Structure 1
Amino acid sequence: MDKKSIEAILKDYHWMMNSIKLLRSSMIDAGDKLTAQYGDEAGMPKAKGGSQSDPVFQEVKRREKRLNVVRKYEDKVKVVQQRIHLIVEEREMEILHWLLEGKSLRWIALHMGLSLSHVKRLKDSIVEQLANGTNGTNGTNGTNGTYLPKEKSVV
């Protein structure tokens, strides 16, 4: 996944999670309120298919479309959730969690006592690691992902 996509997901993560939670709870609530019909109503003929004038059918269609949108949100959220383990540095992890809570970079900088530009650099590092699927500690000789050739001995 590319950096721009990861950055957009991090920015939108908080409200997407809220939408997922609200829709799931509303779908559960709607299912609890369904009741069976008894007596004369049970034997009466029902409308076939879903006519355009049937408000219940229209509501079902609307909710189905909404459910498809939320499934897309779930897929995006899972991308970040499955890659969180890649962030191992303590400051980066703290920044990532505040981003997922919907906090701004300015708020994070004030909260952590860091400069805004430093928080931006750390966020860029987080995005890089999540996009590449690697953490920043995989480099040779602890060089944060860069390759430095070993020094040759003079012997």
Structure 2
Amino acid sequence: MNKKEIEEILKNYHWMLNSIKLEREALKQIGGNLSAKYGIEASLPKAHGQSGDPVFQEVVRRGKRWKKIERYEREIKIIQDRIERIKDERESEVLYWLLEGKSYRWIGQHMGFSSSHIKRLRDSIVEQLADTNGTNGTDGTNFQNRKSAC
């Protein structure tokens, strides 16, 4: 993952975590509005391009939500798997509060730093969490097996 992707996940981490929790609870409940209509509406033709079966439509809707939850979980796991890379206490504290959804200003007031200092710490965190490791994204480059041009 590059720095931009890590920054985006850090920014969205808190609400994605909350969304996963709420969506799981909602998807455990039985969907409403699944009974067929009564009266003359039940005999009318259904719209083209969609199934008239409300149970099938609910299954499709829930399947899409599960895919979204799985995507959120993958992104959250990326950060969780890399947290141990952060060794500095200040950076660790900033990361904790960022993941809790706090603003730079709030974190700065809490820690006694300016918000610009918090941003610099965040940049350092992103650098450590990103995959580049100073190789500019070329981790797989291996020049040891090459013959000399001379």
Fold match (TM-score > 0.5): yes
Partner letter of residue 63 of structure 2?
Answer: E
Matched, 1:67 2:66: yes
In structure 1, the partner of 2:15 is 15
Partner letter of residue 100 of structure 2?
Answer: E
In structure 2, the partner of 1:4 is 4
Partner letter of residue 23 of structure 2?
Answer: L
Shift of 1:122: 0.3
In structure 2, the partner of 1:53 is 52
Shift of 1:53: 1.6
Shift of 1:30: 3.5
In structure 2, the partner of 1:29 is 29
Tell me if structure 2 keeps the 8 A contact 1:83–1:133.
Answer: no
Alignment map for 1:1-155 (pairs within 5 Å): 1-30=1-30, 52-132=51-131
Shift of 1:27: 2.7
Partner letter of residue 117 of structure 2?
Answer: H
Shift of 1:133: 7.4
Partner letter of residue 22 of structure 2?
Answer: L
Distance 1:99 1:62 in 2: 32
Tell me if structure 1 keeps the 8 A contact 2:3–2:130.
Answer: yes
Using structure 2 for the length normalisation, give the TM-score: 0.71
Q: CA RMSD in A?
A: 1.7
Shift of 1:106: 1.3
Q: Secondary structure at the match of 2:5?
A: helix
Distance 2:85 2:3 in 1: 15
Tell me if structure 2 keeps the 8 A contact 1:92–1:123.
Answer: yes
Distance 2:62 2:110 in 1: 40
Distance 2:131 2:58 in 1: 42
Distance 1:128 1:30 in 2: 44
The aligned length equals 115
Which structure is higher in RCO with an 8 Å CA cutoff and minimum separation 6? 2
Relative to structure 1, is the Cα distance of residues 98 and 133 closer, same or farther in structure 2, using a 3 angstrom cutoff? farther
Partner letter of residue 17 of structure 1?
Answer: L
Kindly provide the CA deviation profile for residues 59-115 of structure 1, in whole angstroms up to 9, marking residues without a partner as x. Answer: 110110111111111110000000001111111011001000111111111111101
Shift of 1:28: 2.9
Runs of 5+ unmatched residues, structure 2: 32-49, 134-150
In structure 2, the partner of 1:142 is none
Partner letter of residue 82 of structure 1?
Answer: D
